[in-house]
Amino acid sequence: MHRRTLLIVGALAAVGLCSCGKKPTGADKPVIAVIPKGTTHIFWKSIHAGAVKAATELDVEIIWKGPLKEDDRESQITVVENLIARGVDGIVLAPLDDVALRAPTSAAMRAGIPVVIIDSALQGQDYVSFVATDNYVGGQKGARHLAQVLGGKGRVVMLRYQEGSASTANREKGFLDAIKEFPDIEVVSANQYGGATTESAMIAAENLLAPLKKADGTLQIDGIFCPNESTAFAMLRVLQDQNLAGKVTYVGFDSSPMLVKAMREGQIHGLVLQDPINMGYLGVKTLVRHLNGETVDRRIDTGSTVATPENMDNPEIERLLNPDYKTYLGEG
C-alpha cells in the first residue's frame, strides 16, 4: 500500500493515505483533497499556497497530493480513486487530461463527494464548478502583445505543450485565432509539442528552431510564443544556449524566477500571467461554500494579465510575477 504525506492545515499532522474507507483521525473539520497536475513547478506550489490560505481561513483540513510528472495520467487517476475510498468530504482537481479524468470525477460525484475543477477544463458537466483562467483569452493576449512588439508584421512560431491538456490547448487556440487579426504576420510552425518536462521541451525547441536558421546561425523568424511555464523556460534555455536570447521577440505564459530575470534582461518581451494563489484559494473556498449548502457559480474566471519589461515593477504585476507561496507553505 502506498503511503502519502498529508498536510493537515492547523493540526500539521501527518497521516497515511490508504484505501480504508475512513476519514483521517480527528477529522472533525471537513477534509478536502486538492489534487494538482504536478508538484514541482512554481505554478503548482502557488496553487498549494492558495489552498492552504483558504483552509486556514475557513477552518478545514486539506490533503495535497498529485503526480510528480505532469503527463502521469494513471498516477493522478489512482490518487483520485484512493481519496474517494478514503471518504474525503470534497475534491479540488486540476485534471491532467480532459477525457481520462472524467470517469474518476464522475465516480466521486456518485459517491457524494463533490468535485471542483481548477486550472484545466474537464469534458462533460459532472462537477460543481470550474475555477480557472480564461485560457483562450490568455492566448489571445499573448498573440496581441507579440504582434504589438513586432509592429504587426513578421514570421512567428508557437511551441505547444502536450496533447490532452485543455488549459494549454485553449491558450494555443486563442493565440492562433488572435494572430489572424494581423495579416502581415505569418505563423511558420504551430504543430510541435514540448511535452510535460523541461528536458522534452528543450529537445522539441531545438528541433523547432533548427530548420529556421540562416547560414550564419541567426533565426529566420521574428517571434516566438510558448503557452506555459515549462515550455517557456525550455525555449529560453535553448535560445540562451545558442546565443539567440534577446535577438528574437519572445512571449511566454506563467512565471518563474528565471523567466522574470530573462524579461528584466530583455530576453523575454512579455509573460501572460495567471493568479495561481487566487485560483487555489477560490477552488477550496468554492467547494466549502457548496458543502455549506450555498449556491456557487458554475464558472469562475480568475483572470490574466500581460507583464512586460515596462510594467513588471508595478506592485500588482510584481505580485503575480513573484507569488508569495513560501509564506503559506512555511518555506521562507
Residue pLDDT, tens place only, 193-215: 999 899 999 999 999 999 999 99
Low-confidence ranges of the chain (pLDDT < 70): 1-27, 332
Backbone phi, psi, residue 113, to 5°:
-110, 105
Position 14 scores a pLDDT of 31
**Closest residue by Cα to residue 121 from 94, 88, 143:** 94
Give the integer Cα–Cα distance in Å for 229 and 208.
Answer: 18
308 within domain boundaries: no
317 within domain boundaries: no
Position 7 scores a pLDDT of 34
49 within domain boundaries: yes
The model carries a pTM of: 0.86
Position 332 scores a pLDDT of 63
261 within domain boundaries: yes
171 and 74 inside one domain? no
Cell of 279: 485560483
Sign of the four-CA dihedral 32, 33, 36, 37: negative
112 and 139 inside one domain? no
119 and 162 inside one domain? no
In order of 12, 24, 120, the CA distances from 279 in angstroms are 23, 26, 11
* Number of domains making up the chain: 2
Give the domain CATH number at 72. Answer: 3.40.50.2300
- Domain residues for the domain of 33 are 1-133+275-301
167 and 266 inside one domain? yes
181 within domain boundaries: yes
Position 40 scores a pLDDT of 87
105 and 194 inside one domain? no
| Residue finishing a domain among 273, 290, 310 | 273
104 and 165 inside one domain? no
158 and 267 inside one domain? yes
Question: Is 202 in a helix, a strand, or coil?
Answer: helix
102 within domain boundaries: yes
* Strand-pair category, 61-64 with 223-225: unpaired
326 within domain boundaries: no
297 and 189 inside one domain? no
240 within domain boundaries: yes
Position 37 scores a pLDDT of 96
* Residue 212 Cα to chain centre, angstroms: 29
| Residue finishing a domain among 273, 293, 327 | 273
Give the integer Cα–Cα distance in Å for 300 and 271.
Answer: 22
In order of 12, 127, 229, 261, 286, the CA distances from 56 in angstroms are 11, 24, 28, 32, 14
179 and 195 inside one domain? yes
115 and 156 inside one domain? no
